[in-house]
Amino acid sequence: MRWPSTRPILTGRPVAFSRGVALDAGLAVCGTGLDVLVSAGSWRGPAPGWVGVGFALLAGLPMGLVRRRPGPVAVYLSVLLVICDQLGAYTVNTLQVLLPISVGVLARSRGWGRTAPVALLACAATAVNLADPGVAFTGTTWFYSVGLIAAPVLIGRYLHSQEGRRKEDPAPLLDLLLAGGGVALSVLTTWPHWHAGAPPVWAVALGVMLAGLALGVVRHLPGAVLLLECAALLVADHYVPRTGSSLQLLALVALGVFSTRAAWPWLAAAYALTCSVAAVVVADDPADVTPFRIIALMTMVTAPVAIGRYVGVRQAQARHAAELAAERTRAARLAERERIARDVHDIVAHHVGAMVLRASAAQYAGASGPAAEALADIRDTGHRVLEDLRGLLAVLRDQGGDLALGDMLADPDDVLRDAVARMSAAGLRVGLRLTEEAERAPLVVRASAARIVQEGLTNVLKHAGPGALAEVSVAMRQGALTVEVVNGPGERRSPEALPSHGQGIAGMRERARAFGGHVTAGPAGDGGWRLAASLPVPRESRPAACHRVGRFA
């Protein structure tokens, strides 16, 4: 008894579809339709038609269990292949396609202990089908029997080794395996007929190998590979007729990969194209075109479409699950960061607050001279430390904010001077005016102001060029930290020298908006450019008035 799954449903799709019931039914129907399409021409013999329908059901219906019970299905198809070979039923052609598929599924989902015996049984059944009674096996027969089963086993084992690695594009080796499997399939199923057409054997072999190698890029260019396979089918059917039917599986594989990522209008066009090409290849005589065979052909082409859409849905669910897991991890890290910030704030604020209170008490107790100045400096510094801690805590708690923690850790004054030095080395003439009131503003506000100055000077170098004069002013005005960058015209350079991504002003505005401020930019009166930013400072965090002005050039 299968217990119900406890995994959460990530989308609103029906549970039955998410469990693959529709896919299992589609595989069963398409397996039956494939035998009807391949073997229907033999039903007009002495045996009644219902016998052919019975063989089609016996061959196709077990494919509905291949995803869940690949081992028993492969054993069953091997036994049925031997029985149909002894009876002379045309269903052997269908079984020779379905058997490698079931063995490949077994290799992907089970270990070597179960895969190896079933693969040997499948090789033996294939050899029995290829060898006529009383005729010894030849080296070519053994090569065909082993190669037809070994290719899907290798691909299945590789896919099994990639499970659990959380890689949507595991490795280039998968492309190599697809190319090798495509060449093995195309060569092994067509080489007996290379002499039957008008073109030379080397030309037929080259075309067949090219059609197989194209599967190596089908994951990256599914539409182009589908067009190539359809063209190869038409050419093969016209010049080497008996090879066209064998190459149809390559086109169906390309259609399935195309279905995993294409939109429905493009998928409908690809489906119509594949059906049309398959009809041209299969129908040699207009009398063979019957409603029943048309339905069977459309059903066969529907199989890769259904599988591709199912795989596409599963990939989308896997991506959604990965995004949810990443979001949960990010939320947990943010919560931990906030907890650490609160702990740091509480510990440091307690000790600094005690230090400020003791300094204030000593100052009011009557300290004078150098001691009074030292106590006043301790008290002011303590207040600034507490305000900076409060600002850092607010930034760490802002989970949706765009301000980086690295901006807070760097000394804003060092950032300003470093920006001036860099731009001066690049050819700008920069003057920096930084008031002492601005130096005493909260750390988070000063850090954003420093980044705005840095971006503003970069824009001056981009647009005005070397030789321009830029004046930078950072000061406290009307309860806000103001930044002003004014530049005059310089030696213009070609736009290709310093390309602009067009996000500088937008980024500065986002920084200012985080503090309730604003940024304005526009041409100055002397032909230059002026950038101004205002970052409001909370009233309790504003520094005391100071009239001394420093200048750094």
Q: Are 469 and 429 a contacting pair, CB within 8 Å? A: yes
H helices of 365-495, where? 370-397, 405-409, 412-425, 436-439, 443-463
CA 360 to CA 365: how far, in whole Å?
8
To the question of domain 405-492+500-552 being in CATH 3.30.450.40, the answer is no
Residue 394 identity: A
Q: How many CB atoms lie within 10 A of CB 271?
A: 18
Average pLDDT per consecutive 10 residues, the chain (553 residues; last block may be shorter): 39 46 81 76 61 85 89 92 85 84 88 91 86 56 76 81 57 70 75 78 83 86 90 85 76 89 88 88 71 80 86 85 84 73 68 75 72 77 73 60 49 79 83 85 82 86 81 89 84 47 70 84 79 83 47 36
Cβ within 8 Å of residue 239, ≥6 positions away = 197, 198, 199, 204
Cβ within 8 Å of residue 552, ≥6 positions away = 417, 420, 432, 433, 434
- Work out the widest C-alpha separation in the chain, in whole angstroms: 125
Report the helix count and the strand count for the chain, using DSSP H and E. Answer: 20, 6
Token pair of 414 as six digits: 């060092």
Q: Which residues partner with 534 through β-bridges?
A: 482, 518
What per-residue confidence (pLDDT) applies to 11?
42
What per-residue confidence (pLDDT) applies to 482?
92
SS3 (DSSP) at 474: strand
What per-residue confidence (pLDDT) applies to 491?
58
Q: Are 428 and 465 a contacting pair, CB within 8 Å? A: no
- Where along the chain do its domains lie? 12-162, 170-289, 328-397, 405-492+500-552
Q: Are 278 and 248 a contacting pair, CB within 8 Å? A: yes
Name which of 472, 450, 446 is nearest 460 in CA terms.
472
What per-residue confidence (pLDDT) applies to 153?
87
Per residue, the 3-state secondary structure of 50-65, as one string, reads HHHHHHHHHHHHHHHH
Q: Give the N- to C-terminal CA distance of the chain in Å, as an integer.
A: 81
